[in-house]
Chains A and B, each alone.
Chain A
């Protein structure tokens, strides 16, 4: 066995290394010199440190986009253009989370907060750039543990504690399922690398035990991306967590989880896809995904209708969106996967913006129930306008990114079988459920735009936050008006996936 190419590994991980250093700098700085400083100064200073570190990590990632793809340590690390792009995207999401957090009260342990946030981001980045089961599991756990801790950061609030415990319990069970499934797969194939697993499956065919392993993997990831029936933690965790953390859970962790989930299914288990065509059902993971997708789209949207809390509403809406994404995923074609990646990017940006606005306004409006947002269009016209953009994008109204994302997702699903329109039944359910979703999105916008405020006082928000959220909204609009550039970027790359 040759010596591991340490230099190459370090080069491939230099962005992550920078973030580790940044996290420790933040911790040390907080411990050494900021203990006695005012809360606001601490938060601003440490936030700035984190931002500097994140911006610095952009440089190596940018270089990775340009260079050829590298496979290291037998698939433990796979650095190619696609993974670099998604790592960059996770850095951007983390950056936005930090900006949102800077104006938010996260309790006494500011240094720990930012450090944990960065560690979580590192876990997500590793998740994106690996094709090996054990590393996938370790990276997933790194992310999850950081997110459990972050959820509990509102120490004084019972809601936050309950959410964290619930999130942790469900997360731990899902990890157990995942690990159990992975062990079956390893036991049957003797490989942990996804491409080798695929070769073995192709050579030996799918055994029933392998199907059990795959089922457990899907259950495990079903928890992580919160699809019905594994969604129960999501509404409580979203509501209880400090809002910037909610934003991070809803975006960063979803992006990484969907990316690696697509990788596992398409690279590793492409040979066990089965068929979800209407009238031609055949067992396999597409059928499982079809069932969960339908359940998520229907239940997520219907449950969202009765919510009175904005964060809970967005939680149920994100369950529904996970259902839409599954429809694209189970098309299992090049354009299907492209559409999933496109949708995940748009969805993450939109949700980040929406939670950002909620974080900015809820502390100043006294809560995150719908009533607290009454008449917000008068009190904070600019952020309300941004919220309008984000919510309408989630509802899939043109010319916003969410519309084109949904259009392309469903188009890809129809394209899978244009002879008999085999997947049209899923698309029909998805489209009608998104008509239902417009109802509750409009109810939220009604509170913001139509209903009168309780007291007509202007809500002031920091300029840096307004700029960051406006940039996010601009990106959502541009992705809707000119989706071509991102599509052209992603489409040739998904072949390597």
Chain B
């Protein structure tokens, strides 16, 4: 089955769920899961087929694209419904499939307005699939905007801490980003003669270097808002914290990647001279974001804010890698998109679903000693944390080391700047690990005494927590994500080969 069916299946699933009666919650959950799984399997099927054939494809047609469909949509403006995949967006499509399935599993405990939740969720998934596959600038923009609205409702209805504020902030940031993109798209379209929105055709007629100089930042910054570029990242922590677990997973795992992917596909591909002009700016801003995100994460008291800021830091690696303009750095950036998508999903699942839904607190001072109570959460956090720190053997290592090597060959100072974040990352992950999963006695007891000891159970030696056990959807989804981290960590070529091949093609195309 063609990979674009992932889009249609997700839309169909959302539509089907809308038609079901409000009270058949179990049926709705299973239909959502089935939709997600089918979408993922279609994507995986296409992925492995592409993985087997891409080198031949590149040799025979000179680019790595496998066109899924290309039909005129609005001929008056040269808009085509053009979906195509290459080694850059295939990993991201697969990532979206995985985050969708595990997100649904981690939302199994949602009891309120289940029908609407999964309808919005699958609409968002479909829009994200669409944006990753779109090879027409207009279609890309449409999918981008389509993805904005479901996010608002998912966060504002099912979220927690300051949910309406977080949702509105996120949506307005995205929409202002899209306003920049809108202007850039129109300018780009007319500068190329006003015949086509096709990305591959536009790439053949880049605007003059003077125009590129002001048009490039419009598209790049507009999309980078969604990727959490410093200093426009502030929507990310508040949005992630306010969102329900599945939405945090999607936001950090996939939606931020929409931004960085579109930066690459629209801004960098279409305006190479603009990129050349601005690349040092991007690289240094990315380094600031990396260090700033890590440093702010280190001082957070709220478990979810730590992960939220760590996302900003890790997305900085993606932008830095893209700006290096060499094979190592850019391949690392694309792999980092995948790797961080999985890591962030797992971390948010641990924080939001496994810990917060059970303890109803996310304050590091109030948590503690959870290792004996919910050991699965401990192991999941340990593995995700290790990948986040960039320990060898996990996907994060492969990605970040390449970005650092790439940055080093651009300028050693960049690599040194970004490298500062590595010990900070280790510090905040280990700190959180210690305070949440160990550290029962000292501070937790003290915090508890202040609140009047209602939570206490039994005497010394016994845990004060009386939590429901980890459920099967959590185990299943957690296991899927952990295995992905390890598989890509020890066998990176399963993804890296196709990424590198396509990155080389891109670099060869630069003037």
Which stretch of B174-182, B310-318, B435-443 is in the interface? B174-182
CB-CB contacts of B142-173 with A at 8 A, as 1s and 0s?
10011011001100110000001000100110
By beta carbon, the residue of chain A nearest B181 is A431
Known contacts A432-B179, A438-B172; is A397 also within 8 Å of B187 by CB? no
CB-CB contacts of A445-482 with B at 8 A, as 1s and 0s?
11001100000000000000000000000000000000
A411-B168 in contact (CB<8A): no
Q: In the complex, which residues of chain B have a beta carbon less than 8 angstroms from the beta carbon of A397?
A: 145-146, 148-149
A-B contact pairs, 11 of them (CB 8 A): A398-B145, A403-B142, A408-B77, A410-B186, A411-B189, A424-B183, A424-B187, A431-B179, A431-B182, A450-B164, A483-B74
Q: In the complex, which residues of chain A have a beta carbon less than 8 angstroms from the beta carbon of B179?
A: 431-432, 434-435
Q: In the complex, which residues of chain B have a beta carbon less than 8 angstroms from the beta carbon of A411?
A: 77, 186, 189-190
Which stretch of A99-107, A349-357, A484-492 is in the interface? A484-492
Does A442 lie at the interface of the complex (its beta carbon under 8 Å from any beta carbon of B)? yes
| Complex Cα spacing A449 to B155, Å | 12
Q: Point out residues on B near A: beta carbons under 8 Å.
A: 73-77, 116, 138, 142, 145-146, 148-149, 152-153, 156-157, 164, 168, 171-172, 175-176, 178-179, 182-183, 186-187, 189-191, 194
Q: In the complex, which residues of chain A have a beta carbon less than 8 angstroms from the beta carbon of B182?
A: 407, 410, 431
Q: Chain A nearest CB: distance from B56 CB in Å?
A: 36
A415-B76 in contact (CB<8A): no
| Complex Cα spacing A435 to B77, Å | 24
| Contact among A408, A438, A491 for B175, CB-based, below 8 A | A438
Does A21 lie at the interface of the complex (its beta carbon under 8 Å from any beta carbon of B)? no
A414-B175 in contact (CB<8A): no
Q: Chain B nearest CB: distance from A212 CB in Å?
A: 36
* Besides A414-B190, A427-B186, A431-B183, 11 new A-B residue pairs in contact (Cβ under 8 A), listed by A number: A392-B149, A397-B146, A403-B145, A415-B194, A418-B194, A421-B187, A424-B183, A431-B179, A435-B179, A442-B171, A484-B76
B142-A414 in contact (CB<8A): no
Does A439 lie at the interface of the complex (its beta carbon under 8 Å from any beta carbon of B)? yes
A418-B190 in contact (CB<8A): yes
Does A428 lie at the interface of the complex (its beta carbon under 8 Å from any beta carbon of B)? yes
| Contact among A398, A438, A450, A484 for B157, CB-based, below 8 A | A450
B186-A414 in contact (CB<8A): yes
Does A367 lie at the interface of the complex (its beta carbon under 8 Å from any beta carbon of B)? no
Using a Cβ–Cβ cut-off of 8 Å, how many residues does chain A contribute to the interface with B?
34
| Complex Cα spacing A392 to B74, Å | 21
CB-CB contacts of A335-377 with B at 8 A, as 1s and 0s?
0000000000000000000000000000000000000000001
Does A274 lie at the interface of the complex (its beta carbon under 8 Å from any beta carbon of B)? no
Question: Which 6 A/B pairs are nearest by Cβ-Cβ distance?
Answer: A398-B142, A418-B190, A431-B179, A435-B179, A435-B175, A450-B156
A487-B76 in contact (CB<8A): yes
Q: In the complex, which residues of chain B have a beta carbon less than 8 angstroms from the beta carbon of A491?
A: 76
A428-B183 in contact (CB<8A): yes
Q: In the complex, which residues of chain A have a beta carbon less than 8 angstroms from the beta carbon of B187?
A: 414, 421, 424
| Complex Cα spacing A484 to B178, Å | 24
Known contacts A398-B142, A442-B168; is A435 also within 8 Å of B176 by CB? yes
A439-B142 in contact (CB<8A): no
Interface residues of A in 138-162 (CB under 8 A from B): none
By beta carbon, the residue of chain B nearest A450 is B156
Chain A interface SS verdict (over half): helix
B186-A398 in contact (CB<8A): no
| Complex Cα spacing A392 to B191, Å | 30
Interface residues of A in 18-75 (CB under 8 A from B): none
| Complex Cα spacing A439 to B152, Å | 11
B75-A484 in contact (CB<8A): yes
Does A399 lie at the interface of the complex (its beta carbon under 8 Å from any beta carbon of B)? yes
B190-A415 in contact (CB<8A): yes
By beta carbon, the residue of chain B nearest A449 is B153
| Contact among B74, B156, B183, B186 for A446, CB-based, below 8 A | B156
Q: In the complex, which residues of chain A have a beta carbon less than 8 angstroms from the beta carbon of B191?
A: 418
| Complex Cα spacing A439 to B173, Å | 11
B175-A488 in contact (CB<8A): no
Q: In the complex, which residues of chain B have a beta carbon less than 8 angstroms from the beta carbon of A432?
A: 176, 179
Q: Chain B nearest CB: distance from A410 CB in Å?
A: 6
Q: Chain B nearest CB: distance from A76 CB in Å?
A: 34
By beta carbon, the residue of chain B nearest A398 is B142
CB-CB contacts of A105-146 with B at 8 A, as 1s and 0s?
000000000000000000000000000000000000000000
Q: Chain A nearest CB: distance from B22 CB in Å?
A: 8
Q: In the complex, which residues of chain A have a beta carbon less than 8 angstroms from the beta carbon of B138?
A: 407
Q: In the complex, which residues of chain B have a beta carbon less than 8 angstroms from the beta carbon of A431?
A: 179, 182-183
Q: Chain A nearest CB: distance from B279 CB in Å?
A: 25
Q: Chain A nearest CB: distance from B160 CB in Å?
A: 14
Q: Chain A nearest CB: distance from B2 CB in Å?
A: 21
Q: Chain B nearest CB: distance from A5 CB in Å?
A: 38
| Contact among A427, A449, A450, A488 for B183, CB-based, below 8 A | A427
Q: Chain B nearest CB: distance from A8 CB in Å?
A: 35
Q: In the complex, which residues of chain B have a beta carbon less than 8 angstroms from the beta carbon of A392?
A: 149
Q: Chain B nearest CB: distance from A407 CB in Å?
A: 8
B142-A399 in contact (CB<8A): yes
Q: Chain B nearest CB: distance from A87 CB in Å?
A: 25
By beta carbon, the residue of chain A nearest B193 is A418
CB-CB contacts of A242-269 with B at 8 A, as 1s and 0s?
0000000000000000000000000000
| Complex Cα spacing A319 to B149, Å | 24
Interface residues of A in 397-424 (CB under 8 A from B): 397-399, 403-404, 407-408, 410-411, 414-415, 418, 421, 424
| Complex Cα spacing A365 to B65, Å | 55
Q: In the complex, which residues of chain B have a beta carbon less than 8 angstroms from the beta carbon of A445?
A: 153
| Complex Cα spacing A431 to B185, Å | 12
| Complex Cα spacing A83 to B74, Å | 25
| Complex Cα spacing A397 to B145, Å | 6
Q: Chain B nearest CB: distance from A433 CB in Å?
A: 9
Q: Chain B nearest CB: distance from A466 CB in Å?
A: 16
By beta carbon, the residue of chain A nearest B178 is A435
Residue of B149, B179, B182, B194 ringed by the most chain A CB atoms within 10 A? B182
By beta carbon, the residue of chain A nearest B152 is A442
Q: In the complex, which residues of chain A have a beta carbon less than 8 angstroms from the beta carbon of B146?
A: 397-399
Q: In the complex, which residues of chain A have a beta carbon less than 8 angstroms from the beta carbon of B183?
A: 424, 427-428, 431
By beta carbon, the residue of chain B nearest A406 is B182
| Complex Cα spacing A398 to B74, Å | 14
Q: In the complex, which residues of chain A have a beta carbon less than 8 angstroms from the beta carbon of B176?
A: 432, 435
| Complex Cα spacing A431 to B152, Å | 20
| Complex Cα spacing A397 to B146, Å | 7
Q: In the complex, which residues of chain B have a beta carbon less than 8 angstroms from the beta carbon of A377?
A: 116
| Complex Cα spacing A219 to B20, Å | 53
Q: Chain A nearest CB: distance from B218 CB in Å?
A: 10
Q: Chain A nearest CB: distance from B244 CB in Å?
A: 13
| Complex Cα spacing A28 to B142, Å | 53
Q: In the complex, which residues of chain B have a beta carbon less than 8 angstroms from the beta carbon of A438?
A: 171-172, 175
| Complex Cα spacing A320 to B434, Å | 55
By beta carbon, the residue of chain A nearest B163 is A450
Q: Chain B nearest CB: distance from A470 CB in Å?
A: 14
Q: In the complex, which residues of chain B have a beta carbon less than 8 angstroms from the beta carbon of A421?
A: 187, 190
Q: In the complex, which residues of chain B have a beta carbon less than 8 angstroms from the beta carbon of A415?
A: 190, 194
By beta carbon, the residue of chain B nearest A414 is B186
| Complex Cα spacing A428 to B178, Å | 12
